[in-house]
Copies of this chain bind each other. A is one copy, B any other.
Amino acid sequence: MKSALTEENPFISTDEVREWLKQRNEAVHVKIEQVKFADMKQWYTDPQDGSIRHESGRFFSIEGVRVKTNWGNVPEWSQPIINQPEVGILGIITKEFNGILYFLMQAKIEPGNINNVQLSPTLQATKSNYLQVHKGKKPLYLDYFTGQGEVESKVLLDQLQSEQGARFLKKRNRNIIVEVGDDIEVLDDFCWLTLGQIKKLLMYDNLVNMDTRTVISCIPFGDYPADMIDFYKTLQPGTTESDEFKTSLLMSMLETERHLHEIDDIISWITRLKTKYELDVVPVPLNSVEHWVRDDYSIYHELKKYFSVIAVSVEIGNREVRSWTQPLIKSAQEGIMAFLVKRINGVCHFLVQAKLEAGNFDIIELAPTVQCLTGNYRDGFKEYDVPFLDYVLNAAPKQVHYSTLQSEEGGRFFKEQNRNIIIEVGDDFPVDVPENYTWMTLNQVLIFIKFNNYLNIEARSLISAARFI
């Protein structure tokens, strides 16, 4: 991949992007109202099992599952879960201008977005969307990703990546980046940005949507520009602490020798944990999920924990107003996703957690050091221990290299944002960690991302925010 980490852009500056998103936000008419389940159109509650489904049988459904596991403190529970077996596309078109690779980004509204318009990939479409099940228009730029039609593009990456295992049943999307050679029309609400600009915009709360974050997290280190590697070779100790940290992050991405564990050892560790932990998930009727209550407007846990399922009516538009109804998931509170990072052999190592969630495709996935809802520690009762949470909550400001609120996907989640944090630990922080944790360099993290379904969406979201220069 050609140099793309610059924040210089002759098309639009980073400040202008922020202003542009703000203007789009102001210009757009958005009306989201919670409605009764019974008042949704084209969505119905199955009289047999209480599940919520679309009349077409497509898109997604809200169902019930019973989970049994020997991971954590809770051996068995039932919960609602989103079942979306279709694999969708999250795709970005790129094009080189004057030796620099630009990403075609979209200012897009989703009903659940906390601030309406966020920076999204060129295309985000479920299979139902692009097969036009809802009889809508063909998604813009679709042909560049499907290889159909008369357009030409080259696939730079195409990976299957998981989404929230606590909310989705084995959901995966294709994360695709294609490059075009020919000129391409930049439609309304689209613009060309560099990877450096996108990473800069990740320093702000809720500007870059989840789909963008997962796609850019997949860009492999080998594809970073040669000039960055040259830059690395000439590195001097940074003049500020922040520079020094960025330098060691960059080393963590480029360095293939000074890691604590070999890839083979990390695979052995994953194998051992996948064998140790059992995850048994069976479908149960949604209306028999224990401890969950249903009223006309929502399905919620009796202690108001975790999340609820709600129904909304949506009106969105500028000149042309579209309206529809759909279910959304509403989180009970904010969550925290934090990576602890430690310099080992002079190279940043990320403390990765092997985490089990109900909807995981293969028992455990690699997660941030801390990933939890804040309700767990705000309440007096700790349902489960969260190792390293106290460390994260009590970190000194100078240890915190990254801290923003980032949104989950607004097409499924109602105004959900989670704090994303990267914290550097000191020399006194032990190298020895509990069984479910291990240290990995960014280089190693990126290798595992490449082979699909290893890093969870929460970890990838944080990785996407890593900035090096």
Q: Which residues of A contact B (CB under 8 A)?
A: 87, 155-160, 174, 220, 263-265, 267-268, 271-272, 274-275, 361-362, 450-452
Contacts and interface: CB of A to CB of B under 8 A. Distances in A.
The 4 tightest CB contacts between A and B, nearest first, are A158-B268, A451-B451, A158-B271, A87-B275
In the complex, the count of this chain's copies comes to: 2
B450 A271 contact: no
A295 to B, nearest CB: 32
Contacts of A274: 87, 160
A90 B160 CA distance: 29
Nearest to A156: B264
Contact of A267 (B268, B271, B450): B450
A450 B156 CA distance: 23
B160 A275 contact: yes
A160 B267 CA distance: 9
A1 B451 CA distance: 24
Q: Is the interface of A mostly helix, strand, loop or mixed?
A: mixed
A284 to B, nearest CB: 15
Contacts of A268: 155, 157-159
A362 B362 CA distance: 10
A375 to B, nearest CB: 33
Nearest to A275: B87
Contacts of A263: 450
Contacts of A271: 158-160, 174, 452
Contact of A275 (B174, B264, B451): B174
Nearest to A127: B275
A221 to B, nearest CB: 12
Contacts of A451: 267, 451
Contacts of A361: 362
A158 to B, nearest CB: 4
A158 B274 CA distance: 11
A220 B264 contact: yes
Given A158-B271, A159-B271, A160-B275, A264 B450 contact: yes
Given A87-B275, A157-B267, A159-B271, 4 more contacts: A155-B265, A155-B268, A159-B267, A174-B271
11 contacts: A157-B264, A157-B267, A158-B268, A158-B271, A159-B268, A160-B274, A174-B271, A220-B264, A263-B450, A267-B450, A267-B452
Nearest to A87: B275
A95 B87 CA distance: 47
A451 B160 CA distance: 15
A272 B452 CA distance: 13
A340 to B, nearest CB: 26
Contacts of A157: 264, 267-268
Contacts of A174: 271, 275
A274 B361 CA distance: 14
Instruction: Indicate the member of A174, A263, A267, A450 with the most B CB atoms within 10 Å.
Output: A267
